[in-house]
A and B are shown apart, each in its own frame.
Chain A
């Protein structure tokens, strides 16, 4: 394991974390290595990933990006179950608040690098200090 590798780097299925020797952390949201599709699982995972990222002072700059030429393309609604159920929505509600609070609590500069479709949760990118978008990016 490289010295600048933290324990949480390998903890996520949908967040690929790589950090160079200068402390520039690349946060890549993905689904099986390709474009990220929001599911109940990613919704839960992103909360913790951003929490850990925000706590880790070895992260000097955070770059938020997608994979496979897109940021987040769509939502797999069926993964959330019955959204009309109060218990189900309660979890979506709590995670929805926490993920934004956790990104906002990243206390180092955040740069968003957006390619392709940022059709879902472009709000994550909006919490960056600077957004760099490719010509083909759509929001």
Chain B
């Protein structure tokens, strides 16, 4: 039996181009082109919409995703967040340690600059 994804699941998996309701569904060649573009750009922003329309579009996407079965939806999220979760556990504490000591150094250097300023003006 060939495997076919429900359109809502497919759009969730790829994070792209679920068409707005008044637009025709993009052709498969358009979809693969978008995926390539997203892949090249790191896939950070899936869609750009006019100012003031982001939440409305997010709600449209939510409605689309709700057509997929619940466990599928949950497991799709679980699967795609897994690599990021692993990196969060490994790397965020380290990053925050660097940020902490850098912040302390910044405060110290500002204090030094303030002292210099005081000594030159007095």
Chain A positions near chain B (C-beta within 8 angstroms): 22-24, 26, 60-61, 63, 65, 69, 82-84, 89, 92-93, 96-97, 100-101, 104-115, 126-127, 129-137, 139
Contacts and interface: CB of A to CB of B under 8 A. Distances in A.
24 contacts: A22-B63, A24-B62, A63-B58, A65-B54, A65-B55, A83-B104, A92-B100, A101-B85, A101-B89, A105-B85, A107-B77, A109-B76, A113-B54, A113-B55, A113-B58, A115-B51, A129-B15, A129-B81, A130-B15, A132-B58, A133-B49, A135-B49, A135-B51, A137-B54
Interface string B2-23: 0000000000100110000000
Nearest to B65: A109
Contacts, number: 137
Contacts of A89: 100, 103-104
Contact of B93 (A61, A93, A109, A111): A93
B50 A107 contact: no
A26 B55 contact: yes
B1 interface: no
Contacts of B51: 69, 115, 134-136
B31 interface: no
B46 interface: yes
Contact of A134 (B44, B46, B50, B107): B50
B59 to A, nearest CB: 7
Interface string B87-117: 0110011001100100110011000000000
Interface of B: 12, 15-16, 44-55, 57-59, 61-63, 65-66, 70, 73-74, 76-78, 80-81, 84-85, 88-89, 92-93, 96-97, 100, 103-104, 107-108
